[in-house]
Amino acid sequence: MDELIKLISDLIRFKTTADNPVEIRKCADYIIKYLEDKEMIIKKHVKNEKVSIVVTFKDTKKPDIFLNAHFDVVPASTHLFEPKIENDNLYGRGSSDCKGQVAALMNLMKHFSKYEKKPNIGLMLTSDEEVHSSNGVEYLLSELGYSANLAIVCDAGDDFNIVTKHKGVLQVKISAVGKAVHSSHYWGGINAIEKLIEAYDKIKKLFPKLTKAEWKTTSTLTKIAGGDVLNKVPDYAELYLDIRYTEKDSEEEIMKKLGNVESVQIEKVASALMLETDDNDVYVNKLKISAEKILKRKIKISYEHGATDARFFSEKKIPAFMFKPLGGGAHSDEEYLVISSLEPFHKIMVDFIENASK
């Protein structure tokens, strides 16, 4: 356990933010050096300064199972890149999202490297999950042809629950055009901000207003801008919506509904597909059996509201789900990993892989 804690701590010290390609390369080199000489085939891929590492026991682009995590992190104050331990928690940027999992999976590969008959599994580590993943998992699957019969993405889930679905993402810009005049003669103009507000009042009614977590499509106003000086009726205004949708909706259906709102223009900014894996998938059931055996209690199947790299596997019709050690506070100053959860996580994964490989 001490070696694993040191490994996590070392990874946290690398400031692997999107704007720091030097640290991303250094971290990748550290990972590769750790895994060398362990009877593994290690391949490094780079696209737009984002490094991905693929590790297998066989020379294949399609192992039975890919284990996935990312070693990039969101920006943070300098002190958060120095890990600290308090009681059973290890604090630091990336401890829970997702360097703790990276280290746990590296340790898992090291464990299986000692087997005479090694399982046909692979480790896929990327460095751009926090910035849309086009140079990481998507690149590896769509351009380099990597695949698998199953992917376990260790980036979401609470209390050892298995996450089989996460919402899709649709981000849109809504704009309104008006007519500029001096504000003292506003009746001669058309106020673009007012047009936008009127339209947004209609848009809000298209989505439920939630007061707690529910598996429903949601829309959040995340940015708004309009006008340039205080004495002019604004002739342009825009706002941005972050929409998270379930399997009951689709990107096309939502865009059609938005398009029916008059007097504004609708433009898609970005989107991401859902993760959708059958709750009764054979691999889901096998992991559930392993987890309940090790933990000696029932675990749940759950759904996640945020998006992850699991969506790219789902898009390729590769069954995928999420599972990870305990922790929390992702992207906050209080991000932490529960140290005592690392051992049961390791035992569950070993038991699952041994049984899934039979």
What's the pLDDT band for 219 if we cut at 50, 70, 90?
Answer: very high
Q: Is the pLDDT of residue 358 over 70?
A: no
* Cα–Cα distance, 274 to 313 (Å, whole number): 10
Whether the predicted pLDDT of 202 surpasses 90: yes
Higher pLDDT, residue 76 or 357? 76
| Distance separating alpha carbons of residues 321 and 298, to the nearest angstrom | 18
Q: Which residues pair with 268 in a beta bridge?
A: 172
**How far is the C-alpha of 330 from the C-alpha of 95, rounded, in Å?**
8
Start-to-end CA distance of the chain, whole Å, equals 28
Q: Are 147 and 62 in contact (CB under 8 A)?
A: yes
Query: Hey, what are 239's tokens?
Result: 């706002």
Reply yes or no on whether the pLDDT at 39 is more than 90. Answer: no
Distances (CA, A) of 341 to 233, 295, 324: 58, 10, 9
Measured CA distances, 159 to 162, 212, 307 (Å): 9, 19, 19
The length of the chain in residues reads 358
Q: pLDDT band at residue 82, thresholds of 50, 70 and 90?
A: very high
CB 72 within 8 A of CB 53: no
Domains and CATH numbers, the chain: 1-166+274-357 (3.40.630.10), 168-272 (3.30.70.360)
Of all residues in the chain, the percent with pLDDT exceeding 90 is 96
Identify the residue whose tokens are 């050096």: 33
Beta bridge mates, 303: 165
CB hemisphere CA count around 329 (13 angstroms): 17
State the Cα–Cα distance between residues 1 and 88, nearest whole angstrom. Answer: 13
The pLDDT tens digits for 97-131 are: 999 999 999 999 999 999 999 999 999 999 999 99
Each residue's pLDDT tens digit, 63-76: 999 999 999 999 99
Residue 25's φ and ψ, nearest 5 degrees, are -65, -40
Q: Render the burial of 222-236: b for 16+ CB within 10 Å, e for the rest.
A: eeeebbeeeeebbbb
State the average pLDDT over residues 224-233: 97
**Would the CA dihedral through 280, 351, 90, 96 be positive or negative?**
negative
- Residue-wise pLDDT for 273-321, tens only, equals 999 999 999 999 999 999 999 999 999 999 999 889 999 999 999 999 9
pLDDT for the residue 37: 73
Dist CA 273 CA 280 (whole Å): 21
Q: Do 137 and 126 form a contact (C-beta atoms < 8 A)?
A: yes
**Which residues neighbour 267 within 8 Å (Cβ) at sequence distance 6 or greater?**
172, 173, 174, 175
Q: Distance between CA 91 and CA 97 in Å, rounded? A: 11
DSSP letters spanning 207-246: S---SS--SS-EEEEEEEEE-SSTTB--SEEEEEEEEEE-
In the predicted model, what is the mean pLDDT of residues 52-81? 97
pTM of the predicted protein model: 0.90
Whole-angstrom distance, CA of residue 352 vs CA of residue 286: 7
In the predicted structure, residue 53 carries a pLDDT above the cut 70: yes
pLDDT value of position 277: 95
